[in-house]
Amino acid sequence: MRLTAVGYDYLQSEIIKKLTLELEIRGHTVAVFVGNGKLFPAQAGEVEYAVAGSDVVLITISNRTEEEVAAGEAAAKHGKPLCLFAAAFKGYQMPAFTGLRPDIRMLFRTTGDRMEDAHKLFPNAEILTVGDPFWEAWASPRFSRDEVRKQFSMREGEILLACAGDKYPGDNLLMIGCLLEAAEKLSGQGLKLKVVVGFHPGDPLDRRFYESLFARTDIPVAMTGSETMPLGDAVVGADVLVNTVSTIGIQAAYQSVPSINFMSIFTRTMLKRNQGGDDTWDPCDNLGIAKAIRGSPVEELAAVISEYARTGFSSFLAKRNEVFPEPFEQGKCIRLMADALEKLI
């Protein structure tokens, strides 16, 4: 089998890389075009040339969709079986892929919710719930809570606030600014805390910009990276996670860490555009395993952080166990996708 796989965002690119390794082990050939959330590598016409010589085409759904949609259109033009990997929850609804829906032969989904709606939107597709390789890994963290807290020199009684940056600087500045304001307010109330920030690989701003930003506050802030550990490893040691609408909140739920989705005007507008006018985020607004804070209310953010630092994950535990009743099996997602792709030939 000759497969062409196209994805732009970081997680989508990583999934394609994992799938490529599995398919190559099985003796197949894969033409890979991934942006890693930063820069798409292909020149004009290069993707279509690869698509024309393929047996199957796989595209993913990223926030930036131009390259993926173009690859899908090329697959339809050349009569190639087209498969789509949709992110969790409502990702399959993204309007940018509306024109390709009749051409999708196979739709891979992380979760099995809203299946009837998915069938209506993709009438010619076989729809498979395959999970997600990152969710599989999140169920088994590399480090313990104590190991993480030791790495960041946490003392007895201190609260560790983890903050996951987005790829968009505007979202980051609003979120980090409000988080530091909230942390200052909590410090004034006698809470001892430390903020650990991890940055998205697609963030165009240099780390030195954020270093200069943090130097202008008395709140203790550390950045994750090679000198400490990636934020993905550090989440299990946090008392609260603050992020925009990143899937790292799902990781936090697996690791029994309460999370807050900070949804500024930029985040809400992005969701509305991606979801056809709806700015809800399933972990908060449907599944109930996280808390949404809309706008930039420092008072509300501080109050929720204070509550979760005291109660932990207890208010989310029953819902988490209902939504994700069993641990994911390592490697299952990629295996299921590779099996399904082989059956198309």
Local structure of 204: helix, strand or coil: coil
Quote the CA–CA distance of 100 and 69 in Å, as a whole number. Answer: 8
Q: Could you report the per-residue pLDDT of 66-103, keeping only the tens digit for each? A: 999 999 999 999 999 999 999 877 889 999 999 999 99
Say which residue, 282 or 24, is predicted with more confidence: 24
pLDDT of residue 226: 79
CB count, 10 Å around CB of 97? 22
pLDDT of residue 149: 96
Of 103-107, 189-193, 276-280, least confident by mean pLDDT is: 276-280
Q: Where does the chain hold its CATH 3.40.50.2000 domain(s)?
A: 145-323
Q: Could you report the per-residue pLDDT of 208-217, keeping only the tens digit for each? A: 999 999 999 9
Q: Could you report the per-residue pLDDT of 272-286, keeping only the tens digit for each? A: 888 778 889 989 988
| Mean per-residue pLDDT, 112-138 | 92
Quote the CA–CA distance of 279 and 153 in Å, as a whole number. Answer: 38
Tokens of 156: 């007895």
Q: Sign of the C-alpha dihedral, residues 326, 284, 130, 116?
A: positive
Architecture field, domain 2-132+329-343: 3-Layer(aba) Sandwich (3.40)
Q: Sign of the C-alpha dihedral, residues 197, 34, 247, 326?
A: negative
| Torsion angles phi and psi, residue 244, rounded to 5 | -85, -100
pLDDT of residue 154: 95
Tokens of 293: 């804070």
Among candidate residues 133, 150, 86, the one with its CA nearest the CA of residue 282:
86
Of 7-16, 176-185, 314-323, least confident by mean pLDDT is: 314-323
Give, as one character, the DSSP assignment of residue 235.
G
Please list, in sequence order, all residues whose beta carbon lies within 8 angstroms of the beta carbon of residue 256, skipping any fewer than 6 positions away.
Answer: 312, 313, 317, 320
> The pTM is what?
0.75
Question: For residue 221, which amino acid is it?
Answer: V
Quote the CA–CA distance of 55 and 254 in Å, as a whole number. Answer: 37
Tokens of 26: 């099985």
Query: Widest CA span of the chain, in angstroms?
Result: 65
| Torsion angles phi and psi, residue 48, rounded to 5 | -65, -35
Q: Could you report the per-residue pLDDT of 307-341, keeping only the tens digit for each? A: 999 999 999 999 888 877 666 788 999 999 999 99
- Percent of all residues in the chain with a pLDDT value above 90, rounded to a whole number: 76
- Percent of all residues in the chain with a pLDDT value above 70, rounded to a whole number: 99
Please list, in sequence order, all residues whose beta carbon lies within 8 angstroms of the beta carbon of residue 5, skipping any fewer than 6 positions away.
Answer: 16, 19, 20, 30, 31, 32, 33, 34, 57, 58, 59
Architecture field, domain 145-323: 3-Layer(aba) Sandwich (3.40)
Among candidate residues 252, 263, 262, the one with its CA nearest the CA of residue 317:
252
